[in-house]
């Protein structure tokens, strides 16, 4: 790998142990083994168990593998909603989740926060018959994070609804109480420091039961990657289609590393680094914190308003080996985004900040 | 990589240059670059162009990337059929294509050949209003290959229908006349010698137009990976969701290698090796060729009936470093499968045969 450090919000910096695990995987022929053999089943089992431990996932959850987190939008809508869904929208990715539901023919409703702002849950007006409520824990475009208490409040309000959480660019940082949600998902190129190409979907027994009920009613859940088939194969430590065996193996190894460090430390390090970055932005003459409300500021994707366009900032950072991201969509020139993932160590965050002065 | 050689029909042996290209990719930070930046667009462009040259794909085709070839089953059915499809079934994978169409609510018909046999096209009785005809060029389970002439005959018979070809475990070996089909797909862990985790979908202008017409009629094509959105993003050398950037890069590099060798030689080598393997099986006392009709025998996935179960044969081959596959599904014990991909050189095929005596 080059000497560059990528503070981009995914694809991003590879986990420091990535290359070593990759070399071991090649030594062991992981890319060549059969996805129907016992060696693969052992990898599957190891990765799922390590990931459940990293996330603190209760026993009533199962873990499935998809092509991307975007695929999870469709799987959740088609497998866990009969007619409707409700979406808390706070940027481009939460909006896309909502649009997928509309495109799938659901009666989808949304509460859209102004860019850079969050939601007043008490004003949400979620229809009482809502089946599926979708949150984006960490909005990768705007840098707005949803307080977990908002999610739990909706759970209390609508105990029958399935609660889905997009944790794409924050998991495993938020210590979610998984008994208060039903499904979540992420992609491995964010906080897990892997290349892109694998989505991970966490589903509890209630959600699995809902999919079975919809199927019994004659609903078309897939056919591709429909939940009952993912479950059937997953129970045998396999997948319905040939999966990305190599990344699945590497995810397990990086989970092992995180467990060895300790999740408390992984989370505390992210908190420490996010304080460093936000403090720098607050005191800087070139940048302002984009998310006004401190309780809504993402710890893992930090967004700042900038006078100079991101391209110029990157040009100035290039000789020092740092790469950050421009703002998303309409905010391409007026914002920058800095990822703060477990692969970024405190020293490199300090060095980045120094060169952004 | 270990000293083993995998003659399994995918995941299989990695392409001999795989490790070098992987190292270069890491040197260039390919896994960390943004999928919305110009460096990615250059990779996309290079891979698509190299692949089009490898396959001899005409200008009216576009190339898209999916999570797997199995995903392509669903994409083809949902994007290229309004109400019906017809499937030539000659094993487990062609059957699954058919079952996906039924599960998607299509009026799907099939002509199922007995295991190890092919189809008499003149007996097919394809309804004249059939919109989508699905062929599996190379059935990875049974080792039956479809003569290209069969596909072209159906084209003449039903010039209005969309013709889809599953080339998962044979492309780029068959020199398909792409003007006589409309769409095809494969996965990279077969003949391209990569790890699993990327499906490739080839689509011509007629098929793209059909998807647009279905969408205009109010059809729900996706929402995930629907063809008009794949096209929109693809025209900008991007993908709708974050793709497997690393494998996409590696695919382009391996296509370059194949072009340097020359596709004539790549194909001729497969022919030569398949003759060696079939001749060995024919003359062996332990094995019989599973596909009786010589014109239907796959060149890339060679299936033999065996008296000893595949597990015992693999046990005997293990000390010599060779791995072959058992039969598929019901034929697990009574058949073996030997992959013959570009990553397998003639010397190793000869050595394999020697140790199977």
Rounded Cα distance between A113 and B34, Å, is 27
Say whether pLDDT at B1 is over 90.
no
Rounded Cα distance between A164 and A174, Å, is 15
Rounded Cα distance between B309 and A162, Å, is 48
Mutate to test the interface with B, among A5, A76, A223, A332 (most CBs of B within 10 A): A223
Say whether pLDDT at A89 is over 80.
yes
**Mean pLDDT, residues B73-102:** 97
Rounded Cα distance between B157 and B342, Å, is 34
Of B12, B223, B247, the CB nearest to A100: B223
Residues of chain A positioned with their CB less than 8 A from the CB of B22? 22
Percent of chain A's residues with pLDDT above 90: 97
Among candidate residues A117, A200, A130, A118, the one with its CA nearest the CA of residue A163 = A130
Helix (H) or strand (E) holding B262: none
Could you tell me the pLDDT band of residue B166, with boundaries at 50, 70 and 90?
A: very high
Q: How far is CA B332 from CA B153, B170, B303, B329, in A?
A: 34, 22, 11, 5
Percent of chain B's residues with pLDDT above 90: 97
Mutate to test the interface with A, among B36, B74, B186, B195 (most CBs of A within 10 A): B195
Contacts of A29 (CB under 8 A, 6+ apart): B1, B2, B4, B6
A318 contact B CB<8A: no
Rounded Cα distance between B323 and B84, Å, is 41
Q: Which residues of B99-123 are buried (b: 16+ CB within 10 A; e: fewer)?
A: bbbbbbebebbbbebebbebbebee
Say whether pLDDT at A1 is over 90.
no
**Mean pLDDT, residues A195-219:** 97
Rounded to the nearest angstrom, the minimum Cα separation between A258 and chain B is 20
B242/A68 touch (CB, cutoff 8 Å), yes or no: yes
Residues of chain B positioned with their CB less than 8 A from the CB of A3? none
Q: Which residues pair with B132 in a beta bridge?
A: B162
The confidence score (pLDDT) of residue B357 equals 85
Of A31, A104, A323, the CB nearest to B223: A104
B8 contact A CB<8A: yes
Query: Phi and psi at residue B187, in whole multiples of 5°?
Result: -120, 150
The confidence score (pLDDT) of residue A271 equals 98
Q: Are strands B162-166 and B183-187 parallel, antiparallel or unpaired?
A: parallel
Rounded Cα distance between A315 and B116, Å, is 61
Could you tell me the pLDDT band of residue B122, with boundaries at 50, 70 and 90?
A: confident
How many other C-beta atoms lie within 10 A of the C-beta of residue A209? 11
Rounded Cα distance between A317 and A180, Å, is 42
Here the ipTM equals 0.97
Q: Mark which residues 143-202 of B lie under 8 Å from A by CB.
A: 187, 189, 194-198
B99 contact A CB<8A: yes
B31/A68 touch (CB, cutoff 8 Å), yes or no: no
Rounded to the nearest angstrom, the minimum Cα separation between A122 and chain B is 31
B197/A105 touch (CB, cutoff 8 Å), yes or no: no
Among candidate residues B292, B299, B244, the one with its CA nearest the CA of residue B270 = B299
How many other C-beta atoms lie within 10 A of the C-beta of residue A311? 10
Q: Is the dihedral of CA A221, A227, A232, A233 positive or negative?
A: positive
B166 within 8 A of B135, measured Cβ to Cβ = yes
Could you tell me the pLDDT band of residue A324, with boundaries at 50, 70 and 90?
A: very high
Among candidate residues A301, A293, A296, A288, the one with its CA nearest the CA of residue A335 = A288
A196/B13 touch (CB, cutoff 8 Å), yes or no: no
Residues of chain B positioned with their CB less than 8 A from the CB of A240? 70
The confidence score (pLDDT) of residue A328 equals 94
**Mean pLDDT, residues A176-205:** 98
| Token output for B116 | 């190890």
Could you tell me the pLDDT band of residue A354, with boundaries at 50, 70 and 90?
A: very high
Say whether pLDDT at B6 is over 80.
yes
**In the sheet where B301-306 sits, what is the strand order?**
B287-289, B301-306, B335-339, B325-326
Mutate to test the interface with B, among A16, A40, A64, A67 (most CBs of B within 10 A): A67
A29/B189 touch (CB, cutoff 8 Å), yes or no: no
Q: What confidence tens digit (pLDDT) does each residue in A21-54 have?
A: 999 999 999 999 999 999 999 999 999 999 999 9
Q: What confidence tens digit (pLDDT) does each residue in B283-294 have?
A: 999 999 999 999
Of B11, B198, B220, the CB nearest to A245: B11
B31/A242 touch (CB, cutoff 8 Å), yes or no: no
A194 within 8 A of A248, measured Cβ to Cβ = no
The confidence score (pLDDT) of residue A217 equals 96
- Locate the chain B residue with the closest alpha carbon to A19: B26
The confidence score (pLDDT) of residue A123 equals 84
Q: What confidence tens digit (pLDDT) does each residue in B211-229 have?
A: 999 999 999 999 999 999 9
Could you tell me the pLDDT band of residue B123, with boundaries at 50, 70 and 90?
A: confident
Of B29, B105, B242, the CB nearest to A220: B105
Q: What confidence tens digit (pLDDT) does each residue in B258-281 have?
A: 999 999 999 999 999 999 999 999
Rounded to the nearest angstrom, the minimum Cα separation between A130 and chain B is 21
B99/A223 touch (CB, cutoff 8 Å), yes or no: yes
Q: What confidence tens digit (pLDDT) does each residue in B168-205 have?
A: 999 999 999 999 999 999 999 999 999 999 999 999 99
Say whether pLDDT at A357 is over 90.
no
Q: Mark which residues 114-133 of A lie under 8 Å from B by CB.
A: none
Say whether pLDDT at B113 is over 90.
yes
Average pLDDT of chain B, as a whole number? 97
Average pLDDT of chain A, as a whole number? 97
- Locate the chain A residue with the closest alpha carbon to B1: A27
Rounded to the nearest angstrom, the minimum Cα separation between B102 and chain A is 9
A34/B187 touch (CB, cutoff 8 Å), yes or no: no
A197/B245 touch (CB, cutoff 8 Å), yes or no: yes
Q: What confidence tens digit (pLDDT) does each residue in A120-165 have?
A: 998 889 999 999 999 999 999 999 999 999 999 999 999 999 999 9
Could you tell me the pLDDT band of residue B3, with boundaries at 50, 70 and 90?
A: confident
Among candidate residues B178, B166, B171, B164, the one with its CA nearest the CA of residue B59 = B178
- Model pTM above 0.90: yes
Mutate to test the interface with B, among A12, A32, A64, A187 (most CBs of B within 10 A): A32
Of A103, A187, A223, the CB nearest to B103: A223
Q: Mark which residues 10-39 of A lie under 8 Å from B by CB.
A: 10-14, 19, 22, 26-35
The confidence score (pLDDT) of residue B189 equals 98
Residues of chain A positioned with their CB less than 8 A from the CB of B32? 4, 6, 8, 11-14, 195, 323
Say whether pLDDT at B304 is over 80.
yes
């Amino acid at each position: 790998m080059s000497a560059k450090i990528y503070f981009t919000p995914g694809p991003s910096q590879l986990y420091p142990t990535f290359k070593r695990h990759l070399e071991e995987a090649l030594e062991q022929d992981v890319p060549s083994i059969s996805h129907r053999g016992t060696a693969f089943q052992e990898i599957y089992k190891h990765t799922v168990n390590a990931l459940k431990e990293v996330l603190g996932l209760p026993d009533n959850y199962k873990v499935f593998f998809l092509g991307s987190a975007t695929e999870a939008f469709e799987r959740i809508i088609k497998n866990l909603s009969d007619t409707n869904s409700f979406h808390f929208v706070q940027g481009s990715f939460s909006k896309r989740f909502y649009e997928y539901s509309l495109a799938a023919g659901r009666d989808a409703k949304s509460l859209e926060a102004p860019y850079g702002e969050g939601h007043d849950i008490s004003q949400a007006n979620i229809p009482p018959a809502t089946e599926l409520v979708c949150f984006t824990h960490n909005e990768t475009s705007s840098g707005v994070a949803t307080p977990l208490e908002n999610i739990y409040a909706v759970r209390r309000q609508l105990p029958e609804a399935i609660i889905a959480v997009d944790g794409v660019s924050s998991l495993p940082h938020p210590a979610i109480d998984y008994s208060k949600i039903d499904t979540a998902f992420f992609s491995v190129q964010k906080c897990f420091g892997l290349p892109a190409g694998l989505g991970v979907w966490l589903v509890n027994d209630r959600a699995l039961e809902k999919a079975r009920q919809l199927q019994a009613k004659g609903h078309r859940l897939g056919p591709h990657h429909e939940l009952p088939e993912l479950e059937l194969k997953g129970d045998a430590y396999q997948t319905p289609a040939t999966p990305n065996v190599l990344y699945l193996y590497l995810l397990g190894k990086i989970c092992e590393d995180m467990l060895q460090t300790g999740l408390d430390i992984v989370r505390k390090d992210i908190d420490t680094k996010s304080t460093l970055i936000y403090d720098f932005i607050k005191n800087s003459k070139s940048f302002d914190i984009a998310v006004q409300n401190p309780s809504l500021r993402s710890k893992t994707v930090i967004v700042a308003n900038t006078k100079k366009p991101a391209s110029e900032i990157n040009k100035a950072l290039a000789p020092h080996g740092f790469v950050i991201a421009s703002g998303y969509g309409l905010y391409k020139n007026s914002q920058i985004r800095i990822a703060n993932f477990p692969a970024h160590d405190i020293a490199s965050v300090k060095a980045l900040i120094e060169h952004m002065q």
